[in-house]
């Protein structure tokens, strides 16, 4: 297994600040905006993004949710291993709101399709946007594109993009791992 580092801690910090700046530019006071992290890997990303929005831009009290898409996936019954669900917590109305999904890696688009189905069970948003740390742009199976992208990465199906978050914020990194078999 060969691992190649793509993004280190300093660049992740720059990316977080750039993405936060883009959100502030597009959503202003966030009055009608909610952020929803996709479980499980979008949660560390959204937590760091919220820190930047709060500490750098003074944006506070943005409604933040967690959305699990396990049972909305179209491959739910096709997987060999049993799936384990994560918590969904959306303690606010999405009806008429501008929703921003936050996830770490956009690959085939199937998780985002599932998230679209899942969020509609909470109401009908006015708009849904997508923010990803990494866009594996040539791997899409569905016509889904992100609105906010940290980094675009060209990879093949046998490679896996691995996002590692360090609790101390010193060793955050993104790598690409050659897995040797198609996933």
Residue 105 falls inside a structural domain: yes
Q: What is the CATH number of the domain that holds 148?
A: 3.40.50.2020
Taking only the tens place, the pLDDT of each residue in 39-92 is 999 999 999 999 999 999 999 999 999 999 988 877 666 666 667 778 899 999
Q: What pLDDT digit, counting tens, does each position of 105-122 carry?
A: 999 999 999 999 999 999
What domain range includes position 12? 7-77+88-156
Three-state helix/strand/coil letters over the chain:
CEEEEEECHHHHHHHHHHHHHHHHHHHCCCCCEEEEEECCCHHHHHHHHHHHHHHHHCCCCCCEEEECCHHHCCCCCCCCCCCCCCCCECCCCCCCCEEEEEEEEECCCHHHHHHHHHHHCCCCCCEEEEEEEEECHHHCCCCCCCCEEEEECCCCCCEEEEEECCCCCCCCEEEEEECCCCC
Q: Does residue 49 fall inside a structural domain? A: yes
Domain count, the chain: 1
């Amino acid at each position: 297994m060969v691992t190649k580092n793509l993004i280190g801690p300093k660049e992740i910090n720059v990316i977080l600040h750039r993405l936060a700046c883009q959100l502030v530019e597009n959503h202003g006071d966030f009055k009608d905006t909610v952020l929803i992290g996709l479980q499980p890997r979008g949660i560390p990303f959204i937590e760091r993004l919220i820190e930047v929005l709060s500490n750098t831009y003074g944006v506070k009290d943005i409604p933040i949710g967690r959305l699990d898409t396990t049972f909305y996936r179209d491959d739910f019954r096709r997987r060999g291993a049993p799936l384990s669900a994560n918590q969904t917590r959306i303690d606010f109305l999405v009806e008429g709101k501008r929703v921003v999904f936050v996830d770490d890696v956009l690959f085939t688009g199937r998780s985002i399709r599932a998230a679209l189905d899942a969020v509609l069970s909470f109401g009908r948003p006015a708009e849904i946007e997508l923010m990803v740390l990494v866009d594996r742009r040539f791997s899409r199976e569905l016509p889904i594109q992100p609105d906010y992208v940290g980094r675009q990465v060209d990879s093949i199906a046998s490679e896996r993009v691995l996002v590692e978050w360090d609790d101390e914020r010193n060793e955050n990194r993104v790598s690409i791992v050659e897995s040797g078999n198609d996933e």
